[in-house]
Structure formats: C-alpha cells, structure tokens
Amino acid sequence: MTAKNAFYAQSGGVTAVINASACGVIETARQHQDKIANVYAGRNGIIGALTEDLIDTGQESAENIAALRYTPSGGFGSCRYKLKSLEANRREYERLIEVFKAHDIGYFFYNGGGDSADTCYKVSQLSEKMGFPVQAIHVPKTVDNDLPITDNCPGFGSVAKYIATSTLEASFDVRSMCATSTKLFVLEVMGRHAGWIAAAGALVADQGIPVVTLFPEIEFDQDKFMAAVKAKVEAHGYCSVVVSEGCHWPDGRFLAEQGTKDAFGHAQLGGAAPVVANMVKEALGYKFHWAVADYLQRAARHLASKSDVEQAYALGKAGVEYALQGHNAIMPTVVRKSSDPYVWEIGEAPLSEVANVEKFMPRDFISEDGYGITDRCREYLYPLISGEDYPPYENGLPKYVTLENKAVPKKLDPFEV
C-alpha cells in the first residue's frame, strides 16, 4: 500500500500541553513512514486546510519536534472556526476533498475540544457521504475539562495546578495584609458551563485557607454568598474567592456577560471578578484586590502537571496508532483505573457521542452549601495536578521552541473562507 500523508491541526483555545499532543502525533507518524509519508499541519487550524495553507512538519528537525513537548500554546496556530453541516455548506467539504486529493492526504488528526470534535466528526463522514476515503481522529484538548467519556482532558491538569498554586500564593499575601489592609482576594478563572477549574482553586482549603468558590453549576445567590464571605472574614480575618467566568444568576444571565458573542456564537465573558469584588465592597465594606487568570492559566507551561504532559503526548500518539489500525470517527480517551496510586490507560470513544456534548461537575463533587468541594472531588483532582515537568531554562527564562513552519507549495486556486 502506498503511504498517504496526514493532516494535523490545532483548534480552539490553546493550552500549556497541546503541543505535547502535536509532538506525540508527529513523532509517532515518523516511526511509520511506510504508511504515513509526512504530516502536514494546518496553519491556524481547519482554516489551513480550506485555504491550502499547509505546513510541512517534515522540514522540522527531530530536536524541534521534541521541544514541542515542553512548549506552550499552539505551535502551528489555532482557530475558532466551526464547519457547518454538509447540507448547509457543501462548498467547504468539496474544498477539503480537493485539498486532500491534491496533497494525497488520507489521515486527519484534529486536536481540540467539543466544537473541534464536531468538526472532526463531520470530516470523518466524507468517506460515507462524498466517497472520499479519509480517517479522522479527534485528539482531545480543553482546559475546561468538559469533554464526555474521557476521565479528563489534556490541558486541564496544568490549568488546575496553576490555579490552585496561584490561589494559595495570593491567599498567603492577603493573610499577611488583612489586619490593616486587604481582606478579600477574588480570582476569576475560565469555565463557561463547567466548574472544573474553579474546583481546583477550592483545593487550598486543605491548607487552611478560607475560600469561597462560585461554580457555573450553582445559581448565584447574592445574600447567601455575602453571608459566606462575612463568616470567613470574621473567623479568619480574610477570605479568597474563586469565581468561574460562567457563574450566573438564577435567570441564566452571566455575572460576566458583556453582550457580545465569540466566533462560535457563545456569549463573550470576562469581568466576573470585579463584579463580585465590588459587590462585596458595597455590602460589607471590605478592601479588595482581584485578578483574572485569563491567558496566564492556560499558557503556564512552567508549572505544568507531569501527568497532564504525559497524557497529552500519549493521546496524540494513540490517535496515530488508532488510525493505522483502520479506525475512523473516534477519540482516544483517558481511562482511570485507580486514584491512589494513580493508574490510567488509553481507551476510545465514538465521535458521535463526543461532539457537542458537555461534561459538567457532578453535584456530589460540590459541597452541600455550594461553595466548596467534596472529598470525592479531591480524590479526582489531586492525581491530575501531581508531578512537575519543568521546561529547560536559559538566562532565567523557559527555553521554548518556535518552529520554522515552512509552507507546502500550493497546487490549487485560492479559496475564500
């Protein structure tokens, strides 16, 4: 059988370890050049496939590809672009086939979250609906940790480690100043509908920190929240609050809603921390500081979780291996066998059961009062933030790689996205 080329791309918000998955895909493909001739990466996600803007990863040295394992963000550029259905936009699918044929692409690896799983699932149907043979494998990635079936998602463990650490360190700061100054610190974290990242901030309670956590799964009750904050400040002299960007009022309105939409049509969020901090100031008079973790939380490769890095690489590697075994329309998953000691293995899930499905925090992961986490949640979280995997340093800074990203020569006419 003649070797085919593979297409790989990154999609959605990037993470501290998505490049580790890319490393897993590319290094594994290079070990099977009798079946995968080369890996072409899409510049800026699926847009790179549509516009025939392909990167020849074969031009990168083995050292540069290996360095992806400890380099944050998306080495090939990412995007927020969701393919419509075949019926709604047949033109895009015909273009994909045109590009895949021109560059002899028989494998499609898409590295992303829920919306990306939907794109990958649609591409996987090109064989059945349009007669073009391509094997599409979704490589999971999302800091939100909200993909179904898999125990957890690459990217989450490192964000959780960063948020837990940052909440702990900032709380020590507040504790040292609370007698005469700041009594409240509010940290806003990502998580539109699922409170996994916020839950990581709640881990600091295990070190004696008074913390109130606001989850998207729990409707915001202003009076109850104020009472919780007041009780902790009166007992400890200070309090930290970890608020998910998706925290919302009983009518569904986000505390942080700005009235704008992102590229996927989701409400654009940002600003829950100052809303909460000012709310406390007006009601209780406490001096405060607040911060929005934003890009810092998902780019913090210097503090990545070792288990997260290992799983990100393993899932990229497994994606290639599944494709070589003839699989299509699946996503490799993490299957937890034990939490103590932490043991996991690779499984698989059909994309038909993954695309556009969100996994929320179980109610029994959240304390009865709605402001903390349970022991069951702790048992789930601690293995995911365990271990350190520091990047190399040079002159005091992490030494990350910037790829050459040489373009594959184009063969087709331009295409407007």
Chain centroid to CA 220: how far?
25
Longest Cα–Cα distance of the chain, Å, equals 75
Decide if 327 contacts 181 (C-beta within 8 A).
no
Decide if 324 contacts 110 (C-beta within 8 A).
no
User: Residue 332: phi, psi to the nearest 5?
Assistant: -65, 145
- How many CB atoms within 10 Å of residue 118? 21
Share above pLDDT 70 across residues of the chain, in percent, rounded to a whole number: 96
Per-residue pLDDT at 269 exceeds 70: no
Residues 6+ apart with CB under 8 A from 225: 212, 214, 371
Per-residue pLDDT at 265 exceeds 80: no
Collapse the DSSP code of 389 into the 3-class scheme (helix H, G, I; strand E, B; otherwise coil) and give the result.
coil
Decide if 24 contacts 76 (C-beta within 8 A).
no
Q: Is 144 a catalytic residue?
A: yes
Q: Read off the amino acid at residue 352.
A: S
Q: Which residue stretches of 103-155 are H helix?
A: 114-124, 126-130
| Distance, CA of 283 to CA of 187 (rounded, Å) | 19
| Distance, CA of 168 to CA of 186 (rounded, Å) | 12
| Distance, CA of 40 to CA of 190 (rounded, Å) | 31
Assign residue 237 a region (left: φ > 0; alpha: ψ between -120 and 50; beta: otherwise): left
Q: pLDDT (tens digit, 9 = 90+) per residue, 345-402?
A: 999 999 999 998 999 999 999 999 999 999 999 999 999 999 999 999 999 999 999 9
Decide if 143 contacts 190 (C-beta within 8 A).
yes
| Distance, CA of 142 to CA of 159 (rounded, Å) | 10
Q: Match 């009235």 to its residue by tokens.
A: 259
Per-residue pLDDT at 260 exceeds 50: no
DSSP 149-184: SSS--TTHHHHHHHHHHHHHHHHHHHHHHTTTS--E
pLDDT the model gives residue 69: 98
| Distance, CA of 89 to CA of 84 (rounded, Å) | 6
Identify any residues that bridge with 330 across adjacent strands, giving them in sequence order.
Answer: 137, 350
Collapse the DSSP code of 8 into the 3-class scheme (helix H, G, I; strand E, B; otherwise coil) and give the result.
strand
Mean residue pLDDT across the chain: 95
Collapse the DSSP code of 121 into the 3-class scheme (helix H, G, I; strand E, B; otherwise coil) and give the result.
helix
Per-residue pLDDT at 310 exceeds 50: yes
Q: pLDDT (tens digit, 9 = 90+) per residue, 121-158?
A: 999 988 788 889 999 999 999 999 999 999 999 999 99
Identify any residues that bridge with 81 across adjacent strands, giving them in sequence order.
Answer: none
Chain centroid to CA 295: how far?
11
Confidence of residue 259 (pLDDT cuts 50, 70, 90): very low
pLDDT the model gives residue 190: 95
pLDDT the model gives residue 82: 86
Q: pLDDT (tens digit, 9 = 90+) per residue, 8-21?
A: 999 999 999 999 99
Of 53, 115, 144, 308, which one is the catalytic site residue? 144
User: Residue 173: phi, psi to the nearest 5?
Assistant: -60, -50
Q: pLDDT (tens digit, 9 = 90+) per residue, 314-329?
A: 999 999 999 999 999 9
- How many CB atoms within 10 Å of residue 256? 24
pTM (predicted TM-score): 0.95
Span between the terminal Cα atoms of the chain, in Å: 34
Q: Which residue stretches of 212-354 are H helix?
A: 222-236, 272-284, 294-299, 306-324
Q: pLDDT (tens digit, 9 = 90+) per residue, 329-345?
A: 999 999 999 999 999 99
Decide if 134 contacts 108 (C-beta within 8 A).
yes
Decide if 165 contacts 305 (C-beta within 8 A).
no
Identify any residues that bridge with 244 across adjacent strands, giving them in sequence order.
Answer: 189
Confidence of residue 267 (pLDDT cuts 50, 70, 90): low
Query: Quick one: CA torsion of 353, 358, 363, 365, rounded to 10 degrees?
Result: 90
Q: Which two tokens stand for residue 386?
A: 């365990």
